[in-house]
Amino acid sequence: MSWLGHKPRDSNNVVFKKVLRFVRGYLSGTMERIPVTEGKTTFLVPVQNEESTFPPGSARVFYNRKMEANRDGTVLFLAAVRPSEYLDAMGATGVRGLRVANETGIAVTINDIDPSAAAEIRVNAGRIDGAIEVTCQDANALMSTRRFDAVDLDPFGTPAPFVDASCRSAKRYLFITATDTAPLCGAHLKAGMRRYFARPMNTEYHGEVGLRILLGFAAREMIKYDRGIEPLFCFAHEHFVRLHLRTHPRVKYADRTLDRIGYVMQCTGCFYREEKTGFLSETAVCPCCGSVLQAIGPLWLGAVNDPDTLLAMETLLPEMALGTASYLARLLPLLREELPTSTFYDYHRIAKALRTSPPAIDIVMERLRNDGYRATRTHYEGTGIRTDAPLAAIEAAILGGSSSP
């Protein structure tokens, strides 16, 4: 008989068995576990209901397989920079911290406020050869009383409530994941404003808006302690934004960080935009069409990656045995080559507005370079171009002409 009191028509029904196994474990308060391997690390995770709309949220302890690229990137980054210790502040199953300990040899503290999660982490930590401390505390309380060389925030949803404490706890490195991309990118405007004290805008480069608003928020939280940040490895992928930051003590670094805070002024009538530094935005109109420029921010302006760090990661990648190595092998060179502009242009959208068929992206970039401008691709969007060329030159490159006199 089934848990509903009815015998299933097909006793070999795989879906039914998966759901039944999950429900029995959940109702009994016990967790059936299955082994999972990421990188060089094998660990146990609770069985999830695969028929759920969001399987990771169906188990008593959270584990999201789709975040493997996020975790692979962090393991690779840590192998390159070698901090003396690492805090996984919200561990859940502890997979991130377990992998750091096992695959890099760095001393790790894994924390989770949920006693069930902490118990699962201890089970897995006992299976791994590494220096692993497991704690069961409120993340903000832990980070307010202890300092770590590297602090990692990977919450479910927004990291905003934890960034202040993490800024005080992180000695040299601070890592942040955000999965609330709709508020960050402007799709949920008021939520983004409440959480990050910034005004996003749902533009064609909304993924970059989200990353830069999160980075600007982290910067503003850090500088109030007379400390600065330096972005080393930052990217957006699918449903998350990920930051890897170097922290610097002293007022001069805080002031340098302050100089990177500003706004993207986006035209509400065409594709024109410009960058403005400073905490306060100014009213302005578009020089191309005369429409009002909408201020997006405050956010981080300028480079969000360090080429030397990315090159070191590329060098280590072949020996790391990462499940998403092919993705990272494409991502890292792309990030290293990206121009440090704060937006990109989706040239397909511009072509549509011009009522013309878009040429190949390499042809457009070559035309821009021939006109004396810099142009690169971007990791945010396959049809995105980063360039220091004005809008008129981009339009001319798409149409096949030249903006040069």
Whether 377 is covered by a domain: the verdict is yes
Per-residue pLDDT reduced to its tens digit, 229-276: 999 999 999 999 999 999 999 999 999 999 999 999 999 999 999 999
Are 77 and 34 within one domain?
A: no
Residue 22 and residue 167 in one domain: no
Q: What is the pLDDT of residue 30?
A: 56
Give the model confidence (pLDDT) of 4-23 as tens digits. Answer: 333 444 444 544 444 444 44
- Residue pair 73/21 in contact (Cβ under 8 Å)? The answer is no
Q: What is the mean pLDDT of the chain?
A: 91
CA nearest to 396, candidates 377, 372, 368, 375: 368
Q: Number of helices (H) and strands (E), helices first, in the chain?
A: 15, 15
| Assigned domain for 405 exists | no
Q: Answer yes or no: are the C-beta atoms of 31 and 47 closer than 8 Å.
A: yes
Strand order in the sheet with 132-135: 132-135, 107-111, 85-88, 148-153, 170-178, 240-249, 227-237
Q: Can you give the pLDDT at residue 59? A: 57
In a domain, 135, yes or no: yes
Confidence of residue 32 (pLDDT cuts 50, 70, 90): confident
Does some domain include residue 162? yes
Same domain, yes or no: 50 and 99 = no
Answer yes or no: is pLDDT of 197 > 50: yes
Last residue of a domain, one of 288, 319, 337: 337
Is the preceding peptide bond at 55 cis, omega within 30 degrees of 0?
no
From 286, 315, 337, give the residue that closes a domain: 337
Please report, as a single letter, which amino acid is at residue 26. Answer: Y
* 292-314 mean pLDDT: 98
pLDDT given at position 150: 98
Q: 18 with 75, same domain?
A: no
> 379, 234 in Cβ contact below 8 A?
no
Asked, for residue 2, whether it belongs to a domain, the answer is no
The answer for residues whose C-beta is within 8 angstroms of residue 13's C-beta and 6 or more apart is none
Query: pLDDT tens, 163-181?
Result: 999 999 999 999 999 999 9
**Total domains, the chain:** 3
pLDDT for 46 equals 86
144 and 250 both lie in a single domain = yes
CATH number assigned to the domain comprising residue 363 = 3.30.56.70
- Do 304 and 380 sit in the same domain of this protein? no
- The answer on 233 and 285 residing in a single domain is yes
Q: Final residue of a domain: which of 57, 89, 109?
A: 57
pLDDT band at 64 (very low <50, low <70, confident <90, very high): confident
Residue 314 belongs to a domain with what CATH number? 3.40.50.150
Does a structural domain hold residue 5?
no
Asked if the structure places residue 303 within a domain, the reply is: yes
Quote the domain boundaries for residue 201.
Answer: 65-337
What CA–CA distance (Å, rounded) separates 242 from 155?
Answer: 12
pLDDT (0 to 100) of residue 54:
52
Does residue 37 lie in a domain region?
yes
pLDDT at 405 exceeding the cut of 70? no
Distance (Å, rounded) from C-alpha 161 to C-alpha 198? 15
Q: What is residue 402's predicted lDDT score, i.e. its pLDDT?
A: 61
pTM equals 0.90
